[in-house]
């Protein structure tokens, strides 16, 4: 799913863990559940509009991603303190795969286009595994533009939950 969705889930997980668990379980569980949430959300993302590659010529794709990145940035700045832990681990797989591993792999492939180096280090392989085991029965809607409605619905639902939880800007 999109960055904003992962952020909101990470924040909710951190609030729940810090409300109901004591140190150090609150930190351990925030890290664990935020990480797992990414795997499950991404495994489910086949039902949302989520093209595997960039669609640079497609206005719809561009506008949708502008909105998503804007919302993600806003959520990031509002909640970074004190929810950076939940947000970080809700996105750690993407940070590793897309911001660290992929650029290194691209560098290696500049020298040797056949290079398979790094393929087995992609953490999204767990996502594929969970999807194949648990969600194989779901319809694949990655290229269906109406799929954004599902993601918007999820984002609104998460925002409402967050509103009820009343995120305090300081964890006491």
Kindly list the residues in this chain that would bind Zn ion in the complex (CB under 5 A).
42, 94
Q: Which residue lies nearer to Zn ion by CB, 82 or 135?
A: 135
Q: d(Cα 45, Cα 148) in Å, to the nearest integer?
A: 11
In this structure, what token pair is assigned to residue 73? Answer: 């940035």
Nearer to Zn ion, 18 or 39 (CB): 39
- Does the N-terminal peptide bond of residue 124 adopt cis geometry, omega within 30 degrees of 0? no
Cβ atoms 89, 5 nearer than 8 A: no
Shortest distance, position 92 Cβ to Zn ion, whole Å: 10
Cα separation, 124 vs 130, whole angstroms: 10
Give the total residue count for the chain: 172
For the bound state, the minimum distance from the C-beta of residue 94 to Zn ion, rounded and expressed in Å, comes to 4
Question: In this structure, what are the phi and psi dihedrals at residue 52, rounded to the nearest 5 degrees?
Answer: -60, -30
Closest CA to 1 of 75, 93, 78, 84: 93
What is the closest distance, in whole angstroms, from the C-beta atom of residue 1 to Zn ion in the complex? 8
Residue number, 58 or 128, with CB nearest to Zn ion: 128
Q: Which is nearer to Zn ion, 85 or 90 (CB)?
A: 90
Provide, rounded to whole angstroms, the least separation between the CB of residue 171 and Zn ion: 26
Q: Which is nearer to Zn ion, 102 or 107 (CB)?
A: 102
Distance from C-alpha of 35 to C-alpha of 33, rounded to nearest angstrom:
5
Q: CB of 42: closest distance to Zn ion in angstroms?
A: 4
Is the bond leading into 64 cis (omega within 30 degrees of zero)? no
């Amino acid at each position: 799913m999109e960055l904003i969705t992962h952020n909101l889930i990470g924040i909710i997980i951190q609030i729940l863990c810090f409300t109901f668990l004591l140190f150090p379980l609150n930190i351990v569980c925030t890290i664990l559940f935020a990480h797992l949430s990414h795997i499950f959300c991404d495994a489910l993302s086949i039902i949302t509009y989520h093209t595997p590659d960039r669609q640079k010529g497609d206005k719809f794709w561009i506008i949708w991603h502008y909105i998503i990145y804007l919302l993600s940035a806003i959520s990031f700045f509002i909640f970074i303190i004190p929810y950076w832990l939940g947000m970080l681990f809700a996105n750690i797989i993407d940070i590793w795969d897309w911001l660290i591993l992929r650029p290194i792999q691209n560098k290696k492939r500049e020298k040797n286009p056949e290079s398979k180096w790094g393929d087995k280090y992609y953490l999204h392989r767990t996502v594929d595994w969970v999807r194949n085991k648990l969600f194989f029965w779901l319809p694949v809607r990655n290229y269906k533009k109406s799929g954004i409605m599902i993601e918007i619905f999820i984002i609104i639902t998460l925002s409402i939950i967050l509103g009820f939880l009343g995120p305090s800007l300081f964890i006491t």
